[in-house]
Amino acid sequence: MRSNKPTIFFSVLLIITALLASSCTSVEDSPKHGIVRVMFSSDPADTLLIEKSDTFSVSTRYDAIFMLKVFQGRVYKDSDFAVLYPTIGSYRQEDEFVNIIALDSSGIYKNYKVFESYVPPGNYNSIEFGVTPASGVPLRIVANSGKTFENPVELPPGENLLYHFDQDFTISENKVTEIDVQISPFKSVKRYRDVYRLYRVMKITDVNYN
């Protein structure tokens, strides 16, 4: 009697080949990430602070310091989120320090890149990150009279360290989504005894797609 082992072997081989072909055709490439870039600058119209009988206006004649710490960025798709890093080469979150009343060479407020990070593509509806006074760095301003003021800055008691922005935006594969955030430096502060309290008047001014 002839053995049917070769027939069984080839039948099994054909089944395995068919299964492998089927599985290969069903595999799709994972979507490629896009980039979120967050720019942070001060309102160019907010350049004046009145301190008692003295007036301070932003000028290239004097060095002024209003140092903030920016940290722990996230973009949200409802309750799901992606973490933001300082640069696309970063592997951990780090604090960024920005002097929000520093001027560039043309005499306008400097614009800082505080986050630039790969993010999965999709539609997002908010962004959140921390903005606090830099510890141990007082607000230092020079009045028009030449008098120097130097005072600590703090958040109001009970204020959340993180600031949340409701904003719809899209991340596309291999594209850059740039979010421009603006703070009003002097409208954000109120004098309380010997310190300034930071109330963070901030908004998103633009979303650009590149």
Q: pLDDT digits over 80-101, tens only? A: 999 999 999 988 999 999 999 9
3-state secondary structure of 36: strand
Q: Does residue 97 fall inside a structural domain?
A: yes
- Our count of domains for the chain comes to 1
Q: Which domain holds residue 147?
A: 30-209
Contact yes or no for 114/70 (Cβ under 8 A): yes
Please identify which residue in the block is written with the tokens 């490629």: 32
Q: Does residue 124 fall inside a structural domain?
A: yes
Q: Does residue 185 fall inside a structural domain?
A: yes
Q: Does residue 19 fall inside a structural domain?
A: no
Q: Does residue 85 fall inside a structural domain?
A: yes
Per-residue pLDDT at 29? 57
* Residues 163, 183: Cα–Cα separation, whole Å: 12
* Residues 12, 150: Cα–Cα separation, whole Å: 83
Q: Does residue 114 fall inside a structural domain?
A: yes
Per-residue pLDDT at 13? 45
Q: Does residue 4 fall inside a structural domain?
A: no
* Residues 94, 110: Cα–Cα separation, whole Å: 20
Q: Which residues of the chain have pLDDT under 70?
A: 1-30
Q: Does residue 15 fall inside a structural domain?
A: no
Q: What is the pLDDT of residues 117-149, one digit of tens each?
A: 999 999 999 999 999 999 999 999 988 888 888
Contact yes or no for 130/69 (Cβ under 8 A): yes
